[in-house]
C-alpha cells in the first residue's frame, strides 16, 4: 500500500478515523438498522438537551458526579492512611500486604448485592462500593512508594536529627509522589467502575433507573445520549488525574 | 511470624462473624450464620445445583476470551507492523481503554438481549483493549537489531515472525492475555449481576432478592473460589509460557 497518501500527522489521521467511525455509525443507523435499537449520532447529539430535560436525569447525573467525588476522596484518604500504616515498617508490610493483595484480587462484583442490602439504594451504597474498588490501588501504590525509599536517605535524615514528622514531610512524602499519583489514576478508574456498576445495578433510582427505562421503552436515542454524557464525565475525570500524574512525574528525581 | 499474623487475621474475621451472628444479635437477614453458610455450600456442591450456572458463566467467558484474544492479537499485530499506525492508533486504543465500558451494558442488552450473547459481547469488548495494547507493545518493542540481523541472514517473512518477532514479543502478549482474561471474567460476572437471566452472577442476585441469605453467601464463596482458581491457573500458564 502507498502510505505516502496517508496524512502525515497522526493527529489528523486519528480525527479522520474517528470521523469515519461516526460516519459508518450514522449510515448504519439511518438506513440499515432498526430504529428501535440504534439511532444515528447526529440525532443523539441533537436530542442531548431533551435527555437533560427529562425530569430527574440531571439530578441523577449530578448525584453520580458527587458520588464519584466522594468515593474518590475517601479512597485516597483511607488508602493513604492504611498504606502508610502497612508500608512504613517491614514487619506489618510482610504480614499484612499479602492480605491486602488477596482482598484486591477478589471479584468484588459478587458482593454488590450485599452493599445494597447494608447501605440501601441511596448514595451511601454507591460510594461504599466505589471505595471498595478504589482503596486497594492506593494502598498498593503507597506501600510500593515508601518501600523503595533508599536507606541512605533515611539514615542521613536521621543522622541529621530529623524527628518523625520531619521524616514524613521531607523524606517519605516527596519520595512517594510519583507512585502516589499513579495510584490516584488507578483509584479513579476503580472508583468509576465501582460507582457506575452500583448505579446501573440499582434500577429503582438514579442512572440505573433511566437506563432501564430507556431500554424497556426502546428509546435508543435517549439511552445513547445518557451513556454519552456519563462517558464524557468519566473521560473528564480520568483526564484530570492523568494530567496530575504527568505533571508530578518530574518529582522522580531522587 | 508474618504467617501467624495472617492466620490470626483470618481467624479474627471468622470469630467476629461467629460472635456477631450467634451472640450479638445481628439479624440473619443481614448476615447469616457461618454454620448455615457452610451447610448451604455443601448442599450446593453435593446436589450439583451449581453446574448449570457455572456452565453458562464459563461458556460466556470462553467465547468472550476467544473473541478478544484472536481479535486483539490480530489487530495489535497489524498495528505494530507500521510505526505510523502505531503512533496513530495506540493513543486511541488506550483512550478507549480508560472509559468504563461497563457503561455500554444497557446498549448491549438492547442489541443482544438478556441472554449470554450480551455478556459475551461485553466481556469481549472489555478484554479486547489490554490484549490489543500489549500486543502492540510486545511486537513494537522488539529490538530493531534482531530483525535487521535476521533479514540480512536471509530469513523469510514467516521465519522472521516465527523465530524472532514471536519469541521476543510473547512475554508481553501473555501478560496482556492474562489481564484480558481477568477483566473478561470480572465483567461477565458483573454483567450477569446487573441484567441477566442466568449464570453465577444472576444466581447470587436472585437469591439475594428472595432473601435466601445463607445460600447467597454460599454462592458468593463459590464464585470467589472459582474466580480465584481460574486466575491462579491463568497466572501459572503465563509463567509457563514465558519460560517456554
Per residue in B177-231, pLDDT tens?
Answer: 999 999 999 999 999 988 888 888 899 988 888 888 888 999 999 999 999 899 8
A160 assigned to some structural domain? yes
Same domain, A66 and A21: no
* Residue of chain A nearest B223, judged by CA positions: A110
In this predicted structure, the answer to whether residue A1 has a pLDDT above a threshold of 60 is: no
Residues A13, A138 share a domain: no
Closest residue in A to B209 (Cα) is A113
Mean pLDDT of B220-244: 88
Q: What residues make up the domain containing A244?
A: 48-251
Same domain, A94 and A21: no
Residue A83 lies in a domain: yes
- Tell me if the domain spanning B48-243 has CATH number 1.10.3720.10: yes
pLDDT tens sequence across B44-86: 888 888 888 899 999 999 999 999 999 999 999 999 888 888 8
For A245, half-sphere exposure in the C-beta direction (CA atoms, 13 angstrom radius) is 16
Q: Is residue A129 part of a domain?
A: yes
Q: Which residues of B touch A132 (CB under 8 A)?
A: none
A105 part of contact set with chain B, CB < 8 Å: yes
Q: How many domains are contained in chain A?
A: 2
What are the distances in angstroms from CA B242 to CA A232, B72, B166, B197? 39, 19, 12, 39
Same domain (yes/no): A73, A154: yes
Pair (A190, A165) in one structural domain: yes
B141-164 tens-digit pLDDT:
888 888 889 889 888 888 888 888
Average pLDDT over residues A161-186: 84
Calculate the average pLDDT of chain B. Answer: 88
Distance of alpha carbon A126 from the chain centroid: 14
Within this chain, do residues A27 and A79 fall inside the same structural domain, yes or no?
no
Report the residue of A102, A106, A107, A204 to disrupt the B interface, i.e. the one with the largest count of B CBs within 10 Å. A107
- pLDDT class for A233, splitting at 50, 70, 90? confident
Do residue B99 and residue A107 have CB atoms under 8 angstroms apart?
no
Q: Tell me, yes or no, whether A41 lies in a domain.
A: no
Grid cell 509457563 in the structure block, residue: B240
CB-CB: which of A17, A113, A220 is closest to B208?
A113
Q: What angle do CA B110, B114, B115 make, to 5 degrees?
A: 130
Cα dihedral sign for B70, B72, B74, B75?
positive
Looking at the domain assignment, is residue A68 inside a domain? yes
The pLDDT, as a whole number, for residue A251 is 61
Which residues of chain A make contact with B194, given a CB cutoff of 8 A? 197, 200-201
CA dist B126 and B179 (Å) reads 10
CB pairs under 8 A between A and B: 123
Tell whether A67 and A178 lie within a shared domain. Answer: yes
Distance (Å, whole) CA B25 – CA B19: 9
Interface ipTM: 0.83
The residue in chain B having the minimum alpha-carbon distance to the alpha carbon of residue A112 is B193
Same domain for A126 and A190, yes or no, is: yes
Structural domain includes residue A38: no
Residue A42 lies in a domain: no
Q: Are residues A72 and A164 in the same domain?
A: yes
Where residue A82 sits, what CATH number does that domain have? 1.10.3720.10
| Whether residue A190 sits in one domain with residue A130 | yes
Mark whether A133 and A54 lie in a shared domain: yes
Mean pLDDT of chain A: 84
Q: How big is the CA angle at B216 (ends B12 and A132), to the nearest 5 degrees?
A: 55
Does a structural domain hold residue A165? yes
Q: And the C-alpha cell for B195?
A: 441484567
Taking CB atoms and an 8 Å cutoff, what residues of chain B touch A96? Answer: 5-6, 9
Residues A27, A56: one domain? no
Amino acid at each position: 500500500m502507498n502510505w505516502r497518501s496517508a496524512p502525515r500527522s497522526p493527529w489528523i489521521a486519528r480525527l479522520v478515523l474517528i470521523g469515519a467511525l461516526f460516519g459508518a455509525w450514522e449510515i448504519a443507523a439511518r438506513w440499515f438498522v432498526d430504529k428501535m435499537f440504534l439511532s444515528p449520532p447526529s440525532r443523539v447529539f441533537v436530542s442531548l438537551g431533551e435527555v437533560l430535560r427529562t425530569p430527574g436525569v440531571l439530578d441523577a447525573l449530578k448525584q453520580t458526579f458527587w458520588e464519584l467525588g466522594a468515593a474518590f476522596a475517601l479512597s485516597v484518604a483511607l488508602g493513604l492512611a492504611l498504606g502508610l500504616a502497612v508500608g512504613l515498617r517491614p514487619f506489618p508490610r510482610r504480614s499484612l500486604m499479602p492480605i491486602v493483595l488477596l482482598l484486591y484480587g477478589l471479584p468484588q462484583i459478587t458482593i454488590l448485592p450485599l452493599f445494597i442490602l447494608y447501605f440501601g439504594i441511596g448514595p451511601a451504597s454507591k460510594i461504599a462500593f466505589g471505595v471498595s474498588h478504589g482503596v486497594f490501588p492506593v494502598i498498593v501504590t503507597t506501600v510500593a512508594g515508601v518501600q523503595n525509599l533508599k536507606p541512605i536517605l533515611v539514615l542521613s535524615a536521621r543522622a541529621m536529627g530529623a524527628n518523625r514528622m520531619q521524616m514524613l514531610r521531607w523524606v517519605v512524602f516527596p519520595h512517594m509522589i510519583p507512585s502516589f499519583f499513579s495510584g490516584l489514576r488507578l483509584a479513579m478508574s476503580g472508583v468509576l467502575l465501582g460507582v457506575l456498576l452500583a448505579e446501573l445495578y440499582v434500577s429503582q433510582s438514579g442512572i440505573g433507573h433511566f437506563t432501564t427505562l430507556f431500554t424497556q421503552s426502546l428509546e435508543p436515542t435517549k439511552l445513547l445520549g445518557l451513556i454519552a454524557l456519563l462517558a464524557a464525565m468519566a473521560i473528564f475525570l480520568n483526564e484530570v488525574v492523568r494530567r496530575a500524574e504527568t505533571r508530578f512525574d518530574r518529582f522522580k528525581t531522587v | 511470624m508474618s504467617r501467624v499474623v495472617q492466620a490470626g487475621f483470618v481467624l479474627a474475621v471468622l470469630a467476629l462473624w461467629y460472635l456477631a451472628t450467634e451472640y450479638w444479635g445481628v439479624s440473619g437477614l443481614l448476615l447469616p450464620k457461618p454454620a448455615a453458610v457452610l451447610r448451604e455450600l455443601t448442599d450446593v456442591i453435593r446436589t450439583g445445583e451449581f453446574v448449570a450456572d457455572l456452565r453458562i458463566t464459563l461458556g460466556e467467558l470462553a467465547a468472550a476470551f476467544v473473541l478478544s484474544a484472536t481479535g486483539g492479537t490480530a489487530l495489535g499485530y497489524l498495528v505494530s507492523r507500521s510505526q505510523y499506525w502505531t503512533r496513530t492508533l495506540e493513543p486511541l486504543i488506550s483512550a478507549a481503554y480508560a472509559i468504563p465500558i461497563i457503561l455500554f451494558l444497557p446498549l448491549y442488552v438492547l442489541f443482544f438481549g438478556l441472554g449470554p450473547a450480551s455478556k459475551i459481547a461485553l466481556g469481549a469488548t472489555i478484554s479486547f483493549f489490554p490484549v490489543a495494547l500489549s500486543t502492540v507493545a510486545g511486537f513494537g518493542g522488539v529490538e530493531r537489531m534482531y530483525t535487521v540481523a535476521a533479514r540480512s541472514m536471509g530469513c523469510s517473512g514467516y521465519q522472521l515472525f516465527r523465530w524472532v518477532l514471536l519469541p521476543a514479543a510473547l512475554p508481553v502478549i501473555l501478560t496482556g492475555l492474562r489481564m484480558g482474561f481477568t477483566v473478561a471474567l470480572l465483567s461477565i460476572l458483573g454483567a450477569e449481576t446487573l441484567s441477566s437471566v442466568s449464570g453465577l452472577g444472576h444466581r447470587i442476585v436472585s437469591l439475594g432478592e428472595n432473601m435466601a441469605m445463607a445460600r447467597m453467601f454460599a454462592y458468593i464463596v463459590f464464585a470467589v473460589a472459582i474466580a480465584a482458581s481460574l486466575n491462579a491457573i491463568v497466572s501459572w500458564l503465563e509463567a509457563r509460557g514465558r519460560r517456554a
